[in-house]
Structure 1
Amino acid sequence: MAETPTRPAAESHALAQRRHIPLSVYVHLPWCVRKCPYCDFNSHRLPDTLPEQAYVDALLADWQLARQDDPRPIDTVFFGGGTPSLFTAESIERILAALDRGPGLADACEITLEANPGATEHSRFADLRAAGVNRLSLGIQSLDNACLAALGRIHDADEALAAIDSAGAAGFERLNCDLMFGLPGQTLARAMHDLETVLACDPGHLSYYQLTLEPNTPFYKRPPPLPGDDVVADIFDAATERLAAAGYDQYEVSAWTRPGHGCRHNDNYWRFGDYLGIGAGAHGKCTAEDGRIVRTARQRWPTGYMQAAGRPVSITETRVLTEADARFECLLGALRRRQGLSRDDYEYRTGLSWAELLDNLGGARSNGLIDADDARLAASDRGWYYLDSILAELVPDSAD
């Protein structure tokens, strides 16, 4: 008679599964020169003196807590904020050196840093490239000075264009430009002028997304005059057509790329990969050795974070996902991708059954919103416009 599998055998299976899941690291640097009125990120106005050394010390202590001897090499690193380019290249290099000591950066590790187009930071681009950053993400947002002023940005159009030039001169072959539409006072013509001007700079990647009024922001409390829904739809349709004609592939709802320039870090989020988060308010999601999927969050306020970093008290949330949570959260990102979700990704990254997933999507499939077979599922051309409706069917029961 066959023996009942022992727990170590089950754990070995979970560990084998985990090896198929890429590991990323998110590093949060929380300060900005000024907080934008539309921003709901965990960012804070720059103090009179940036506590750079103390904060980096805290990050390194936090890293020792976060890594937990995970043997997988780090596939991507993302420095987000805030405005990470306020930090010196020496600090960025110090953080990367700590990540490389354990578990180590993969040979082709993608290392992205968000930067503000403010002129005072351009001089750091070459040093950041030398420190190991190989992908730069510029928060352009608009090239219309009236729109930039309405958004509370501290740069103007000339500084944004100069930043793009500086990134190229510094040796960045992988560049993303963030561009927003649906801005205060924006017309179709003004939005397309923004897009054409950015395309003339030929970045490899473009994040193109609509301004939304998020709760707990000044814009939400005192909304600016925004273009109507019809104008916003016209902008998006015209931009979609123009970007496709320019050779960009819309591989995610708000992400456009030339071949070979997609953001691997964000794609790992959308594909329900694992990532360790360090820094004030940073979130993480990781598959444990026993197969459980665990989400964590750090203390949000920088001062409190620096005092607690490296100790368990710095972790303010630890949540083990239920099967329903894992199914929903996996689809939440995957359905944003044009390629959708492969069976292998789903089963390795959730430990759940593909057949059961397809059963749960019965309504969306019968309504023509999802295309699915034994190997892959994705939103249909029609379903691409109804992602919220698809996901609403799958929201986990709070009692689950």
Structure 2
Amino acid sequence: MSLLAPPLSLYIHMPWCVKKCPYCDFNSHGLRSEPPPYADYIDHLLADLDADRVDFAQALVGRPIVSIFFGGGTPSLFAPELIERLLDGVRERLPFVDDAEVTLETNPGTVEHGNFDGYLAAGINRMSFGVQSFDDDKLKRLGRIHSSNEAEAAVKSAQDAGYRNINLDLMYALPQQTLQGALADVDHAALLQPTHISHYQLTLEPNTAFAANPPPLPDDDHAWAMQEACEQRLADAGYGQYEISAYAQPGRRCTHNLNYWHFGDYLGIGAGAHGKLSDAGNGQIHRRWKTRHPRAYMEAAGAVSRIGGDSTVEASERPFEYMLNALRLIDGVPMREFAERTGLPLERIGPALATACARGWLIENGEQLQTTALGQRFLNDVIASFLD
């Protein structure tokens, strides 16, 4: 089976934030006494993109960008005019589809309300707010710099500025959170009528402050009860679940994340950014990640030293990597997509597929592969069954 080139996205990493949250394991760096070199960083992002375009020229031919995601850190620390300069530079270098989705992550405590007009004019057509909770006590425990009232005001301000595509990030199973508290967060979010809600469990990640000094979290049974109850409450409010932690109003699923979950391709620029690119010409799938520290990344000035590492996704790794993403989707994926995105025949995963179906984890009808409710609960075990 030949490898087919999937849709192509662009991830842009903005590494600075006001303060590092104790649960965060992302490549983010809190502000110090001197402000970061925001304008210079834009130049380095474009130099990084130029170098990647040279390195992957063959694999990029004829492939427009379907989505862009500004992640961090806190991208909203960058002024709208800097975001506009960057997006203009990207458009000069890469083709876009007409309805390309362009998302900016923002912390409600870092955006001046007047800036939303500027971001919209710059080309940002989807805003993602890291709210996490509407309980001020829980926000303090999470180390967030905003209050519930500030989060609500920021969302309403973005809507007033003309944003019609807004995501809210919410966490559940927070320190000493009750089921009623988790449901109250979901209800508060739904009242604001965002088009999309990301609802995910707080987990203790290695090398974080919470991992070193764990807070009192609900146990697994209570966390599962929160997940099930919140899923139903979101459904009642008109948000359809389409991925383990993603809920959307009709027609508002996130293009960028869907491309990840369908094992699509993405260029990654910025300090610590990761990318994945399929080269249909030689049947290879390539991964590249950039140097993590912003200073080292900028000192590289688009040179080879900006690259933190390169690797090829070998045939033996592709089933696991594909399933790691695709099995998160509630509606499943077309069976033909496995061969198209991995370049491997479906027979390659026949035994593992049969075992997972026999255990009640998956449903396979010849056209669609779908995780059952039981499989969703034990998703890590399901995915692990596709390891080589």
Q: TM-score range by the shorter chain?
A: over 0.9
Local SS of the residue matching 1:62: helix
Match of 1:235 among 226, 235, 238: 226
1:150 touches 1:184 (CA, 8 Å); kept in 2? yes
Return the offset for 1:364.
0.6
Residue of structure 2 equivalent to 1:3: none
Return the offset for 1:119.
5.8
2:76 touches 2:111 (CA, 8 Å); kept in 1? no
1:119 touches 1:163 (CA, 8 Å); kept in 2? no
Instruction: Kindly provide the amino acid, as one letter, of the partner of residue 215 in structure 2.
Output: P
User: Larger relative CO (CA 8 A, sep 6+): 1 or 2?
Assistant: 2
Residue of structure 2 equivalent to 1:4: none
Local SS of the residue matching 1:364: helix
Local SS of the residue matching 1:121: coil
2:327 touches 2:371 (CA, 8 Å); kept in 1? yes
Cα 1:367–1:230, aligned 2, differ >3 Å: closer, same or farther?
closer
Q: Give the whole-Å Cα distance in 2 for the aligned partners of 1:118 and 1:193.
A: 21
1:272 touches 1:334 (CA, 8 Å); kept in 2? yes
2:204 touches 2:211 (CA, 8 Å); kept in 1? yes
Q: Deviations over 1:322-357 (max 9, x none)?
A: 112111101100000012221332222111112322
Instruction: Kindly provide the amino acid, as one letter, of the partner of residue 133 in structure 2.
Output: S
Q: Give the whole-Å Cα distance in 1 for the aligned partners of 2:73 and 2:112.
A: 14
Task: In structure 2, list runs of 5 or more residues that go unmatched.
Answer: none
Aligned ranges 1:191-202 → 2 under 5 Å: 191-202=182-193
Q: Deviations over 1:352-400 (max 9, x none)?
A: 112322333221111121111322211122212111111122223xxxx
Residue of structure 1 equivalent to 2:314: 322
Local SS of the residue matching 1:337: coil
Cα 1:334–1:120, aligned 2, differ >3 Å: closer, same or farther?
closer
Match of 2:17 among 24, 32, 42: 32
Residue of structure 2 equivalent to 1:344: 336
Task: In structure 1, list runs of 5 or more residues that go unmatched.
Answer: 1-9
Return the offset for 1:84.
0.2
Q: What percentage of residue pairs aligned between the two structures are identical? A: 46
The reply on whether 1:49 has 2:35 as its aligned counterpart is: yes
Residue of structure 2 equivalent to 1:65: 51
Residue of structure 1 equivalent to 2:377: 385
Return the offset for 1:233.
2.1
Instruction: Kindly provide the amino acid, as one letter, of the partner of residue 296 in structure 2.
Output: G
- TM-score when scaled to structure 2? 0.95
2:77 touches 2:111 (CA, 8 Å); kept in 1? no
Q: Deviations over 1:77-97 (max 9, x none)?
A: 000000000001111111111
Residue of structure 2 equivalent to 1:22: 7
Match of 1:165 among 156, 166, 170: 156
Instruction: Kindly provide the amino acid, as one letter, of the partner of residue 80 in structure 1.
Output: G
Q: Deviations over 1:291-322 (max 9, x none)?
A: 20001110000000001141122112111011
- TM-score when scaled to structure 1? 0.92
Q: Give the whole-Å Cα distance in 2 for the aligned partners of 1:345 and 1:131.
A: 35
1:99 touches 1:105 (CA, 8 Å); kept in 2? no
Return the offset for 1:120.
4.3
Q: Give the whole-Å Cα distance in 2 for the aligned partners of 1:32 and 1:375.
A: 45
Q: Give the whole-Å Cα distance in 2 for the aligned partners of 1:27 and 1:120.
A: 19
Instruction: Kindly provide the amino acid, as one letter, of the partner of residue 54 in structure 1.
Output: D
Local SS of the residue matching 2:317: helix
Local SS of the residue matching 2:214: coil
2:198 touches 2:245 (CA, 8 Å); kept in 1? yes
Q: Give the whole-Å Cα distance in 2 for the aligned partners of 1:357 and 1:192.
A: 40
Cα 1:119–1:46, aligned 2, differ >3 Å: closer, same or farther?
closer
- How many pairs were matched up? 381
Match of 1:358 among 346, 350, 357: 350
Aligned ranges 1:92-241 → 2 under 5 Å: 92-118=83-109, 120-241=111-232
Cα RMSD after superposing both structures: 1.4
Local SS of the residue matching 1:382: helix
Q: Give the whole-Å Cα distance in 2 for the aligned partners of 1:95 and 1:349.
A: 30
Q: Deviations over 1:53-101 (max 9, x none)?
A: 1111110100101223312110000000000000011111111112211
